């Protein structure tokens, strides 16, 4: 392995066991016999020292499947793909959190991974104490933290609250402090999961700047994001994953383009409900309304208990990743549906002033206080008709807002020929 | 590929493959010693954050148990103390190592579950987590030890040179707890029901071990069997150190405790290590 290769993966695989429930409960007798069978299996598993898996029959699932790649020192690589493509599993294997089931991975240099902002932050401890705690968890030595302490505090802009327990911080302050500690890591290889999705826009920009700086110093960075704009801005290379396999390993722009094209146009999708929390079970988008420039989205949800005030959220993103338009029931008009455990939320927006083209739809479900479920970029839709207007520049050039304007000549006045009254007489 | 694992560079080459995490483990553990210290410090800081309650709790708990045990075993059951030792001093000298043992076992057994968020998000040798919890138990022990000294002063009871050997028995107590704790914490991750087992075992253990009474009350015929509880050796040794020769030194229970500690530690570390690499997937 030549010394300018930072990471090399060969046939990397990660297998999980997932359990399925095969039968539905019909009679008490079935339930009892099924419980007995399950109990028998857990005892056998336990005796063999294998982990227990819930469900009636167990299936292998390869979250990563023969993944090969090589990353040179100083590469800034964006790892993209849809939810469940294996991105997070790959990062977990790279950060040694979990061991691969097959294959081999060679890493040259110190790895720091940032899979979550503020890992290990303790609410009872003060900002100062949490900087030391979090720094140590991320792999910094005490001396290193001491040296960078002032920079971390300055970057986070929390100097007045250093000796306040972080449980009293606003969520913005919390995220700023947490990111700031991570931003001052100086590993040879930095592994970052979708962490920029938090914090306010101003701070996100600052973080992107900081990450760009890190990348500029010749460090190797692996970056997972759904934000294609950020990937494009930061990364020189893109690896596209789908179903645990590497689909493309090329420059960032081509990978993004390929990703956008693999996100198939679809107007409906359904999901398995989770038993433990409110979840989105289906999303449907009215295709006909879309053609006419309006949006009609139905979100089915089900929850373990009634949702006091069910709130739906929706964001349209361009294929290059910028958010174009969004709405949720907290700030837009909302009516009905309170106190139900299962229902359908309908989002209706007439004559959206956005440009024709392809958009990615993300959907959230929550109640008044927090979000419970979110599906990022789950559907790719065509907004407006797909007629090609040869005179119109692409949205990446002129933007996504569509609002008619009129053009006229200063000599002639606006639009009308008869409107001579305002023109100076010759 | 030319295989040259270490080409003399300052950077080390890390190879990750199934079953490979065995290597470098102990080296890694050393490299992460600062994290061990900081996690121990965190547990302590959080515990004593509301200082009054924190310290008061570690004073009140042993004192109450002491009073109840003295009344129960000395007054009601009329069990003898050892030599001329006041009964409360003898009880506390047994209660201290027992509490050290049981709180390490309790804290460590749940430690992986309470730190699940760390395990899912960062790498470090997982052995650090249960080990760090011993710090809180140890500080609680020190506080209780001050109470013991105060009690001895109150009864005008002076220890002799043997007390100098006490640190060795404290260490033995910690290590005795650590082996079973590693087994329990691993079990807890794999099979969540195990957390219901431990409180029961500990409650049982409190009465089986010579905490409220001297192990001298055990009939000779049963002594060998009784000594198979490793805590017996720890408590006996502890009393021997503290009570200035009033309590005899039992070679039998001491030897058994040492052998069992080593065996349990060995099994515990091995079992923990074998399951460690899948913790992140299970937790």
Find the range with the poorest average confidence among A274-288, B50-64, B140-154. Answer: B50-64
Q: Do B191 and A52 touch (CB under 8 A)?
A: yes
Q: For residue B7, which residues of chain A lie inside 8 Å, CB to CB? A: 3
Question: Nearest Cβ partner of A99 from B122, B277, B282?
Answer: B277
Helix, strand, coil share of chain A (percent; to 5): 30, 35, 40
pLDDT confidence of residue A415: 53
Residue B79 lies in a domain: yes
Q: A312-321, B132-141, B257-266 — which one is most confidently predicted on average?
A: B257-266
Does pLDDT of B103 surpass 70? yes
A400 phi and psi, to 5 degrees?
A: -100, -10
Q: For residue A99, which residues of chain B lie inside 8 Å, CB to CB? A: 16, 18-21, 277-278
pLDDT confidence of residue B176: 94
Name the residue with higher pLDDT: A391 or B251. Answer: B251
Nearest residue on chain A to B37, alpha-carbon basis: A136
Judge whether B49 is closer than 8 Å to chain A, CB to CB: yes
Average pLDDT, chain B: 85
pLDDT confidence of residue A20: 58
Q: Please tell me the pTM assigned to this model.
A: 0.71
How many domains does chain B fold into?
Answer: 1
Q: Which of A316, A418, A425 is nearest to A363 (CA)?
A: A316
pLDDT confidence of residue A148: 92
Residue B41 lies in a domain: no
Q: What pairing do the DSSP bridges indicate for beta strands A111-114 and A323-328? A: unpaired
Residue B268 lies in a domain: yes
Q: Which domain holds residue B232?
A: 52-282
Question: Nearest Cβ partner of B121 from A16, A97, A124?
Answer: A97
Interface probe for A, chosen from B15, B123, B191 (most Cβ of A below 10 Å), is B123
Q: Do A97 and B38 touch (CB under 8 A)?
A: no
Q: Do A132 and B38 touch (CB under 8 A)?
A: yes
Is residue B2 very low, low, confident or very high in pLDDT (cuts 50, 70, 90)?
A: very low
Residue B134 lies in a domain: yes
Does pLDDT of A181 surpass 50? yes
Name the residue with higher pLDDT: A84 or B166. Answer: B166
pLDDT tens digits, A318-344: 877 788 999 988 888 888 778 888 889
For range A41-46, the mean pLDDT? 68
For range A16-36, the mean pLDDT? 64
**What value of ipTM does the predicted structure carry?**
0.82
Beta bridge partners of A62: A15
Q: A64-73, A371-380, A409-418 — which one is most confidently predicted on average?
A: A64-73
pLDDT confidence of residue A149: 93
Q: Do the Cβ atoms of A107 and A94 come closer than 8 Å?
A: yes
Nearest residue on chain A to B22, alpha-carbon basis: A99
DSSP A262-288: HS-B-SEEE-PPPSSS-EEEEEEE-HH
Distance of CA A388 to the CA centre of its chain: 31
Is residue A293 very low, low, confident or very high in pLDDT (cuts 50, 70, 90)?
A: confident
Does pLDDT of A359 surpass 70? yes
pLDDT tens digits, A126-174: 999 999 999 998 888 889 999 999 999 998 888 889 999 988 988 778 8
Average pLDDT, chain A: 81
pLDDT confidence of residue B37: 92
Q: Do the Cβ atoms of A155 and A138 come closer than 8 Å?
A: no
Is residue A81 very low, low, confident or very high in pLDDT (cuts 50, 70, 90)?
A: confident
Percentage above 70 pLDDT, chain A: 83
Q: Do A99 and B278 touch (CB under 8 A)?
A: yes
pLDDT confidence of residue A315: 93
Q: How far apart are CA A37 and CA A40, in angstroms?
A: 5
Residue B25 lies in a domain: no
Residue B267 lies in a domain: yes
Does pLDDT of A255 surpass 70? yes
DSSP B131-191: HHTHHHHHHHHHHHHHHHHHHHHHTT----GGGGGHHHHHHHHHHHHHHHHHHHHHHHHH-
Q: Do B121 and A3 touch (CB under 8 A)?
A: no
pLDDT tens digits, A238-253: 999 888 889 889 888 8
pLDDT confidence of residue A1: 46
Q: Do A132 and B11 touch (CB under 8 A)?
A: no
Is residue B32 very low, low, confident or very high in pLDDT (cuts 50, 70, 90)?
A: confident
Name the residue with higher pLDDT: A414 or A14. Answer: A14
Does pLDDT of B250 surpass 70? yes
Q: A13-17, A204-208, A316-320 — which one is most confidently predicted on average?
A: A13-17
Is residue A40 very low, low, confident or very high in pLDDT (cuts 50, 70, 90)?
A: confident
Residue B4 lies in a domain: no
Is residue A297 very low, low, confident or very high in pLDDT (cuts 50, 70, 90)?
A: very high
Nearest residue on chain A to B1, alpha-carbon basis: A1
DSSP chain B: ----S--S-SSPEEEE-TTGGGTTHHHHHHHTHHHHHHHHHHHHHHHTSSHHHHHHHHHHHHHHHHHHHIIIIIIIS----STT--HHHHHHHHHHHHHHHHHHHHHHHHHHHHTHHHHHH--S-TTHHHHHTHHHHHHHHHHHHHHHHHHHHHTT----GGGGGHHHHHHHHHHHHHHHHHHHHHHHHH-GGGGGHHHHHHHHHHHHSSSSS-GGGS-HHHHHHHTTSHHHHHHHHHHHHHTTTSSPP-HHHHHHHHHHHHHHHHHHHHHHHHHHTTHHHH-
Q: A188-202, A259-273, B198-212 — which one is most confidently predicted on average?
A: B198-212
pLDDT confidence of residue B279: 84
pLDDT confidence of residue B50: 62
Q: Do B120 and A3 touch (CB under 8 A)?
A: no
Q: For residue B114, which residues of chain A lie inside 8 Å, CB to CB? A: none
Judge whether B5 is closer than 8 Å to chain A, CB to CB: no
Judge whether B281 is closer than 8 Å to chain A, CB to CB: yes
Q: Do A100 and B1 touch (CB under 8 A)?
A: no
pLDDT confidence of residue A196: 60
Find the range with the poorest average confidence among A316-325, B95-104, B251-260. Answer: A316-325
- At residue A383's C-alpha, the angle toward residues A382 and A387, to 5°, is 80
Judge whether B16 is closer than 8 Å to chain A, CB to CB: yes
Residue B118 lies in a domain: yes
């Amino acid at each position: 392995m030549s010394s300018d290769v930072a990471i090399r993966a060969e046939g990397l695989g990660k297998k999980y066991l997932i359990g399925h429930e095969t039968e539905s409960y019909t009679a008490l007798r079935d339930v009892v016999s099924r419980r007995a069978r399950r109990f028998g299996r857990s005892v056998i598993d336990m005796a063999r020292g294998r982990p227990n898996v819930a469900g009636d029959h167990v299936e292998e699932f390869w979250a990563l499947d023969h993944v090969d790649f090589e990353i040179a020192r100083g590469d800034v690589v964006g790892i993209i793909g849809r939810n469940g493509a294996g991105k997070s599993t790959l990062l977990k294997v790279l950060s040694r959190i979990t061991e691969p089931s097959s294959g081999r991975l060679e890493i040259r240099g110190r790895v720091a991974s940032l899979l979550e902002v503020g890992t290990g932050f303790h609410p009872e401890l003060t900002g100062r104490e949490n900087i030391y705690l979090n720094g140590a968890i991320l792999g910094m030595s005490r001396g290193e933290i001491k040296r960078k302490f002032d920079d971390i505090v300055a970057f986070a802009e929390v100097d007045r609250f250093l000796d306040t327990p972080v449980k009293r911080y606003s969520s913005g302050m919390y995220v700023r402090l947490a990111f700031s500690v991570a931003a001052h890591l100086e590993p040879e290889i930095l592994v970052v999961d979708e962490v920029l999705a938090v914090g306010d826009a101003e701070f996100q920009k600052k973080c992107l700047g900081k990450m760009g700086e890190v990348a500029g110093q010749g460090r190797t960075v692996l970056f997972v994001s759904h934000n294609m704009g950020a990937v494009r801005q930061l990364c020189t290379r893109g690896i596209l994953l789908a179903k645990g396999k590497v689909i493309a390993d090329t420059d960032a722009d081509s990978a993004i383009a390929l990703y956008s094209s693999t996100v198939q146009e679809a107007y409906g999708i359904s999901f398995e409900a989770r038993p433990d929390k409110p979840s989105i079970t289906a999303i449907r988008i009215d295709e006909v309304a879309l053609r006419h420039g309006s949006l009609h989205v139905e979100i089915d949800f089900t929850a373990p208990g009634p949702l006091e005030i069910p709130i739906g959220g929706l964001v349209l993103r361009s294929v290059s990743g910028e958010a174009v338009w969004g709405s949720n029931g907290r700030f837009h008009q909302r009516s009905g549906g309170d106190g139900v455990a299962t229902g359908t939320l309908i989002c209706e927006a007439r004559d959206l002033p956005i440009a024709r083209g392809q958009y990615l739809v993300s959907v959230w479900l929550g109640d008044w206080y927090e979000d419970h479920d979110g599906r990022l970029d789950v559907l790719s839709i065509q907004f407006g008709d797909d007629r090609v207007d040869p005179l119109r520049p692409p949205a990446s050039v002129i933007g996504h807002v569509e609002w008619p304007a009129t053009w006229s000549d200063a000599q002639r006045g606006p639009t009308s020929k008869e409107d001579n009254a305002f023109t100076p007489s010759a | 590929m030319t295989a040259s694992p270490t080409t003399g560079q300052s950077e080390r080459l890390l190879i990750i493959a199934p079953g490979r995490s065995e290597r470098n483990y102990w080296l890694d553990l050393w490299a992460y010693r600062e994290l061990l210290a900081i996690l121990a410090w965190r547990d302590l800081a959080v515990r004593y954050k509301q200082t009054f309650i924190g310290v008061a709790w570690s004073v009140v708990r042993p004192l109450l148990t002491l009073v109840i045990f003295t009344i129960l075993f000395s007054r009601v059951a009329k069990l003898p103390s050892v030599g001329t030792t006041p009964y409360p001093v003898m009880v506390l000298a047994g209660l201290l190592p027992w509490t050290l043992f049981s709180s390490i076992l309790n804290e460590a057994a749940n430690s992986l579950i309470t730190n699940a968020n760390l395990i899912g998000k960062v790498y470090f040798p997982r052995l650090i987590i249960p080990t760090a919890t011993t710090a809180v138990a140890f500080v609680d022990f020190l506080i209780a030890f001050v109470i013991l000294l105060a009690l001895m002063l109150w009864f005008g009871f002076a220890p002799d040179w043997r007390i100098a050997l006490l640190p060795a028995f404290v260490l033995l107590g910690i290590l005795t707890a650590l082996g079973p704790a590693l087994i329990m914490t691993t079990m807890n991750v794999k099979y969540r029901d195990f957390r219901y087992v431990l409180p029961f075992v500990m409650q049982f253990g409190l009465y089986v071990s010579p905490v409220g009474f001297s192990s001298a009350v055990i009939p000779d015929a049963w002594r060998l069997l009784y000594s198979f509880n490793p805590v017996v050796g720890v408590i006996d040794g502890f009393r021997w150190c503290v009570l200035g020769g009033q309590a005899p030194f039992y070679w039998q229970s001491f030897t058994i405790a040492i052998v069992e500690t080593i065996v349990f530690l060995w099994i515990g570390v091995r079992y923990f290590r074998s399951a460690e690499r899948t913790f992140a997937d299970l937790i």
